[in-house]
Chains A and B, each alone.
Chain A
Amino acid sequence: MKKMTRRDFLKVSSAGLVLAGMPFTMSACLKRMDGVAPSDIHDYFSLFGVDEELIRQTLTVALSEGGDYADIFFEFNTGNSIVMEDNQVNRAYIRSSIGMGARVVKGDKTGYSFTEELTPENMKKVARTAAKIAGKAGTQHPADFKEAALPSYYDVGKRWEDVSVKKRIQMLEFVNNEMLKRDNRITSTQLSFNDDERFILIATSDGVLAGDYQPMTRFNAYCVAETNGRRENNGFNLSARQDVNWFTRDKLIYLAREAVNRTISLFDAVPAPAGEMPVVLAAGSAGILLHEAIGHGMEADFNRKGISIFSDKINKKVAEPFVNIVDDGTNQNIRGSINIDDEGITGQKTFLVENGILKSYIHDRISAAHYGLKPTGNGRRESFKHPPQPRMRNTYMLNGPHTFEEIIRSTSHGIYADQFLNGQVYIGAGDFTFYVKSGYLIENGKLTQPVKDINIIGNGPEVLKKITMVANDMKLAEGGWTCGKGGQSVPVSQGMPTCKVSSITVGGKNA
């Protein structure tokens, strides 16, 4: 396999969107022989223009002020968005960035710096800056590297770099046509096709050396519809760590249909009532409740500081015995999956709640060391410009003993919530919210009229106790969810079986 210099690679990749019909043979060295992602650590070395000796020297500088631990993190990221508006594919946004960050840890303290120019001088300079946190001379040396054997949770057949602009345009036009022909009340459509490729190389002072290729795609379809002078807008999107072949004809039709149906149904919506009532969460992206009600509160940085409402609840009962909640980096091709986290710990599945008992926080290296535990593979960062934090991956509830029908039938008056836009939590007080774009009223055990644009607010531990029924129809979210914390965004997903919260406050109109 021919090795390519970084310069060649960037030249090719900065195009991002490959010209239609033109094969990109130059990037071949960043693929396996079977034409997929880079497999050999040397591919990553050549991408970043480094070698093992330079990495070792940089880590040695990072440890030179007495740090307990150091890592260096290289990242090359390219992304493309093509936008269709007013039935024209008339704009594209293309980005690429490259850089390296150095982190030094001393106890719970972190020193961090990064550079965008990967020269040996710059790499050592940022290592020296990060080292200052430790504050006194040390003689520690990095351990010998053991190349990590990584799992494969997003093995894709085709690189995004090898997909032509024309192919992306065809998909946009196809979905746009499908949307327009479904309903003549649609007055405008906005679509965008997005893909990203992230290459990371991590080296740690305790001997981890690993590279990973992380693909991502997201297809957004939104529209505005008008009838009798009334307008509504809504949409749908699909996102995964997948390649272009994931977007089959059926999948694109599904995207168009959901975007249109979810918009048109809003015309029938009635105002939601205000106040406390039972809320049934639809299977799928309703996992946003878990993300906000418990997920953030279980991030161990908040707990080691004693500022989360879950800080003293490990091994305590927090929910009914049929409630099991996991945070999982190992789901095949799902948006929040990671073969390896951004500090060199391989992807894994962590039980937050098992049979109603609070089991484990989600850890990065710092919090795991603080508690004397093994890291859980949740150390993630937005880019080389940031140090890692404990972050969620795919957070979901496992199946329970009830059925969808039983749950709806058991509810005499309440809300069925099935599409969500965003949520937020205060992890100390435990209050959290999620915004319901669309749902239905439940009256006398039946779904009746649609409702829309409702915020729901509750308290994490209290709501967990009020999960009284869980169905057997767990689904992971299909759309592209992004989680923000401390100024950093990372891709995540979530999932849920149909479940019932016996009482929670719904933001609606007072009678």
Chain B
Amino acid sequence: MNKELLEKKLKWIEEKAMKKGADAIRSSLSVSSGFTMSQRDDEIENMSESVESSLHVEIYYDNRYSSHSTNDLNEDRLDGFLENAISMTAYLEKDEFRKLPEKKWYATETDDSMLDLVDNTISRIHHEEKVALLDRLVKSAYKMNRSLISVSADFWNNHSLTVLRASNGFTGSAERTSVGMGTSVSLEEPDGKRPEDSKYIGAMHFKELWEPEKISAEAVRRVEAKLGAGKIASDKMTMVVENQVAGRYLYPILRALDGRALSQKNSFLEGKQDKEVGAKLFTLIDNPLIPRAQGSRMFDGEGLKAVKRVLFQDGVLKTYLIDSYYGNKLNMEPTAGGISNLILPPGKKSPEELIQAVDHGIYITGFIGGNSNPTTGDFSYGIMGHEIKNGKRVKPVSEMNISGNYLDLMKSLIAVGNDPTEFSRFRLPTLVFKDIDFAGL
């Protein structure tokens, strides 16, 4: 992968577009190569290997805007592509807020080597080593539990390079590797149900991954814990959310911070800046500058400088996620187009200690389906996990729903664990909320 070559191509595209009449242009070009392989029981089942590229061009023409993507990088055809992109933009309506960001918001330091997102050893992992890892994943799962009815293991690696360029003076590149593996396992119950669970670990560096035996042990532990699951009576109860599933649950809160949602009055957090919306424990920080973390970056999709930001501090909403367009529209300073790595500062207690403090509740280890209303904050999700009685996990739970409203939920956070997740962009610990509506029997 050659950064200079991609930069040269974008420069050529920019010059062509400006010559054809564009007032400004932002373009990005990505190249990535990837490999995946999976094994089921004793045999390799799938293997896939490819290289792909993607060009994205945003045209600003006479206060009008359009966005174009293609994977065809042939120069003759790109010439026609740009010609058409610019002429069609002329048919759209003028939008005074549509312009490239002011230069002062751009990242000046774009070298991301301090973030350590590339592991050059990954490309040197031999095929035989990958095959051996898959075999260890499968064999160790069966060794833990001989009655598993199916074990599938996956290995993948990817290397990508993206260059972003804006005609008012920004060029930056982002290179990263990713590598991961995991195991999915199934058991059969006497009534014919075949519960499944899995554990997958992905990182930028190969050395950070767990040993295959540890990954499979976690997958097997999770599926065994599901045996005999069923619903319990509907009630208002304490809810403990396992760290690794908390990100999905909190995501709609982040969506409500987004500039577009605010501008369209489609956010339950509109008009709440500097107001207390959550419990004292509810602090969320977006940090794009953590070395070796999934969401780390020096700049966002517009080239805006990536900085650590406090989104909520002790329950008070501090920062919205505003890109430059909605910043113009809302007359607000731009912050970022989206989150990078989300942190909720951990507490002192382990998940077990948090569970011990619950009289009656449910420990949620998985969500299934459900959705939320972005305008009002109402939510309803399917859940699975364990019933907690007098501080102990007493019964696996499935086929139940939780319902509520995010504005109430943020206020009902009563405890946080000491166990933030390692491998996700959501670095969240186990969370405890009081008085949640559960629906079951």
Q: Is B401 a contact partner of A94 (Cβ separation < 8 A)?
A: no
Distance to closest chain B CB from A498 (angstroms): 22
Q: How far is the CA of A180 from the CA of B221 in the complex (A)?
A: 55
Q: Residue-by-residue, is B63-101 near A (CB-CB < 8 Å gives 1, otherwise 0)?
A: 011111111101011001100110111011111001000
Q: How far is the CA of A110 from the CA of B375 in the complex (A)?
A: 45
What is the chain B residue whose CB lies nearest that of A20?
B91
Given the interface pairs A188-B266, A426-B196, the reply to whether A108 lies near B43 with Cβ below 8 Å is: yes
Residues of chain B contacted by A507 (CB below 8 angstroms): 370, 380-382, 401-403, 437, 439
Q: How far is the CA of A232 from the CA of B95 in the complex (A)?
A: 27
Q: Does A251 count as interface, using CB distance less than 8 angstroms?
A: no
Q: Is B44 a contact partner of A188 (Cβ separation < 8 A)?
A: no
Given the interface pairs A98-B71, A110-B45, A231-B265, the reply to whether A433 lies near B382 with Cβ below 8 Å is: yes
Q: Does B235 count as interface, using CB distance less than 8 angstroms?
A: yes
Of B226-234, B314-322, B337-345, the one with at least 4 CB within 8 A of chain A: B226-234
Distance to closest chain B CB from A356 (angstroms): 18
Residues of chain A contacted by B53 (CB below 8 angstroms): 116
Which listed residue (B195, B226, B236, B371) contacts A455, Cβ 8 A? B371
Q: Is B48 a contact partner of A113 (Cβ separation < 8 A)?
A: yes
Q: Is A506 a contact partner of B439 (Cβ separation < 8 A)?
A: yes
Residues of chain A contacted by B231 (CB below 8 angstroms): 505
Q: Is A116 a contact partner of B72 (Cβ separation < 8 A)?
A: yes
Q: Does A44 count as interface, using CB distance less than 8 angstroms?
A: no
Q: Is B439 a contact partner of A92 (Cβ separation < 8 A)?
A: no
Q: Does A385 count as interface, using CB distance less than 8 angstroms?
A: yes
Residues of chain B contacted by A89 (CB below 8 angstroms): 92-93
Q: Is B72 a contact partner of A14 (Cβ separation < 8 A)?
A: yes
Q: Does A276 count as interface, using CB distance less than 8 angstroms?
A: yes
Q: Residue-by-residue, is A7-24 near B (CB-CB < 8 Å gives 1, otherwise 0)?
A: 100111011110110000
Residues of chain A contacted by B382 (CB below 8 angstroms): 424, 431, 433, 455, 457, 507
Q: Is B70 a contact partner of A95 (Cβ separation < 8 A)?
A: yes
Residues of chain A contacted by B401 (CB below 8 angstroms): 274, 433, 455-457, 505-507
Residues of chain A contacted by B402 (CB below 8 angstroms): 507
Of A139-147, A209-217, A308-316, A342-350, the one with at least 4 CB within 8 A of chain B: A308-316
Residues of chain B contacted by A99 (CB below 8 angstroms): 52, 71
Q: How far is the CA of A187 from the CA of B262 in the complex (A)?
A: 13
Residues of chain A contacted by B149 (CB below 8 angstroms): 306-307
Residues of chain A contacted by B235 (CB below 8 angstroms): 510
Interface members, chain B 410-441 (any A CB < 8 Å): 437-441
Residues of chain A contacted by B68 (CB below 8 angstroms): 14, 93-95
Q: Does A129 count as interface, using CB distance less than 8 angstroms?
A: yes
What is the chain B residue whose CB lies nearest that of A457?
B382
Distance to closest chain B CB from A466 (angstroms): 13
Q: How far is the CA of A437 from the CA of B379 in the complex (A)?
A: 11
What is the chain B residue whose CB lies nearest that of A506?
B439
Distance to closest chain A CB from B140 (angstroms): 19
Q: Does B218 count as interface, using CB distance less than 8 angstroms?
A: no
Q: How far is the CA of A95 from the CA of B64 in the complex (A)?
A: 18
**Most-contacted residue by chain B among A19, A99, A190, A433 (CB, 10 A):** A433
Q: Does A115 count as interface, using CB distance less than 8 angstroms?
A: yes
What is the chain B residue whose CB lies nearest that of A487?
B36
Q: Is A508 a contact partner of B441 (Cβ separation < 8 A)?
A: no
Q: Does A509 count as interface, using CB distance less than 8 angstroms?
A: yes
Interface members, chain A 279-324 (any B CB < 8 Å): 292, 305-309, 311-312
Residues of chain B contacted by A166 (CB below 8 angstroms): 91
Distance to closest chain A CB from B29 (angstroms): 13
What is the chain B residue whose CB lies nearest that of A461?
B192
Q: Is A423 a contact partner of B44 (Cβ separation < 8 A)?
A: no
Interface members, chain B 244-285 (any A CB < 8 Å): 263-266
What is the chain A residue whose CB lies nearest that of B403?
A507
Residues of chain B contacted by A456 (CB below 8 angstroms): 401
Q: How many residues of B contact A (CB 8 A)?
A: 82
What is the chain A residue whose CB lies nearest that of B43?
A109
Residues of chain A contacted by B439 (CB below 8 angstroms): 274-275, 505-508, 510
Q: How far is the CA of A116 from the CA of B29 in the complex (A)?
A: 14
Distance to closest chain B CB from A493 (angstroms): 19
Q: Is B64 a contact partner of A431 (Cβ separation < 8 A)?
A: no
Which listed residue (B48, B72, B379, B440) contacts A387, Cβ 8 A? B48
Q: Is B88 a contact partner of A15 (Cβ separation < 8 A)?
A: yes
Residues of chain B contacted by A454 (CB below 8 angstroms): 380, 403
Q: Is B196 a contact partner of A510 (Cβ separation < 8 A)?
A: no
Q: Is A91 a contact partner of B67 (Cβ separation < 8 A)?
A: yes
Q: Is A95 a contact partner of B69 (Cβ separation < 8 A)?
A: yes
**Most-contacted residue by chain B among A12, A99, A307, A461 (CB, 10 A):** A307
* Interface residue range, chain A: 35 or more
Q: Is B369 a contact partner of A116 (Cβ separation < 8 A)?
A: no
Q: Is B150 a contact partner of A305 (Cβ separation < 8 A)?
A: yes
**Most-contacted residue by chain B among A86, A312, A455, A461 (CB, 10 A):** A455
Distance to closest chain B CB from A68 (angstroms): 14
Q: Is B50 a contact partner of A424 (Cβ separation < 8 A)?
A: no
Given the interface pairs A90-B93, A307-B196, the reply to whether A110 lies near B369 with Cβ below 8 Å is: no
Q: Residue-by-residue, is A108-123 near B (CB-CB < 8 Å gives 1, otherwise 0)?
A: 1111111110000000
Q: Is B369 a contact partner of A509 (Cβ separation < 8 A)?
A: no
Q: Is A19 a contact partner of B91 (Cβ separation < 8 A)?
A: yes
Residues of chain B contacted by A457 (CB below 8 angstroms): 368-369, 382, 399-401
Q: Does B389 count as interface, using CB distance less than 8 angstroms?
A: no
Residues of chain A contacted by B67 (CB below 8 angstroms): 91-94
Q: Is A7 a contact partner of B48 (Cβ separation < 8 A)?
A: no
Q: Does A330 count as interface, using CB distance less than 8 angstroms?
A: no
Q: Does A435 count as interface, using CB distance less than 8 angstroms?
A: yes
Residues of chain B contacted by A453 (CB below 8 angstroms): 371-373, 376, 378-380, 403
Q: Is A422 a contact partner of B371 (Cβ separation < 8 A)?
A: yes
Q: Does B211 count as interface, using CB distance less than 8 angstroms?
A: no
Q: Does A226 count as interface, using CB distance less than 8 angstroms?
A: yes
Q: How far is the CA of A408 from the CA of B385 in the complex (A)?
A: 35
Distance to closest chain B CB from A329 (angstroms): 25
Which listed residue (A14, A232, A308, A422) contacts B70, Cβ 8 A? A14
Q: Is A309 a contact partner of B194 (Cβ separation < 8 A)?
A: yes
Q: Does B49 count as interface, using CB distance less than 8 angstroms?
A: yes
Q: Does B186 count as interface, using CB distance less than 8 angstroms?
A: yes
Q: Does A60 count as interface, using CB distance less than 8 angstroms?
A: no
Q: Is A455 a contact partner of B369 (Cβ separation < 8 A)?
A: yes
Q: How far is the CA of A166 from the CA of B85 in the complex (A)?
A: 15
Given the interface pairs A92-B92, A431-B398, the reply to whether A275 lies near B437 with Cβ below 8 Å is: no
Q: Does B147 count as interface, using CB distance less than 8 angstroms?
A: no
Q: Is A429 a contact partner of B193 (Cβ separation < 8 A)?
A: yes
Q: Is B369 a contact partner of A190 (Cβ separation < 8 A)?
A: no
Residues of chain A contacted by B369 (CB below 8 angstroms): 292, 422-424, 432-435, 455, 457
Given the interface pairs A190-B264, A454-B403, the reply to whether A88 lies near B93 with Cβ below 8 Å is: yes
Q: Does A359 count as interface, using CB distance less than 8 angstroms?
A: no
Q: How far is the CA of A438 from the CA of B266 in the complex (A)?
A: 18
Given contacts A97-B71, A114-B50, A429-B398, 18 further A-B contacts (CB under 8 A): A12-B80, A14-B70, A14-B80, A86-B263, A91-B92, A109-B44, A113-B48, A113-B50, A133-B46, A233-B375, A274-B439, A308-B194, A385-B52, A424-B369, A428-B186, A434-B369, A461-B192, A505-B440
Q: Contact residues of A with B, CB < 8 Å?
A: 7, 10-12, 14-17, 19-20, 82, 85-86, 88-99, 108-116, 126, 129, 132-133, 165-166, 169, 187-188, 190, 224, 226, 231-233, 272, 274-276, 292, 305-309, 311-312, 385, 387, 421-435, 437, 452-459, 461, 505-510
Counting from the closest, the 5 A-B pairs by CB-CB distance are A507-B401, A433-B369, A15-B84, A11-B80, A274-B439
Q: Contact residues of B with A, CB < 8 Å?
A: 40, 43-53, 64-72, 74, 76-77, 80-81, 84-85, 87-89, 91-95, 98, 149-150, 152, 186, 192-196, 226, 229, 231, 234-236, 263-266, 368-376, 378-382, 384, 398-403, 437-441
Enumerate 24 A-B pairs (CB-CB under 8 Å) in ascending A order: A11-B77, A15-B84, A19-B87, A19-B91, A91-B98, A109-B45, A132-B47, A224-B264, A275-B234, A292-B369, A307-B196, A311-B194, A387-B46, A421-B371, A429-B196, A429-B226, A431-B382, A432-B369, A433-B368, A505-B399, A505-B441, A507-B439, A508-B437, A509-B437
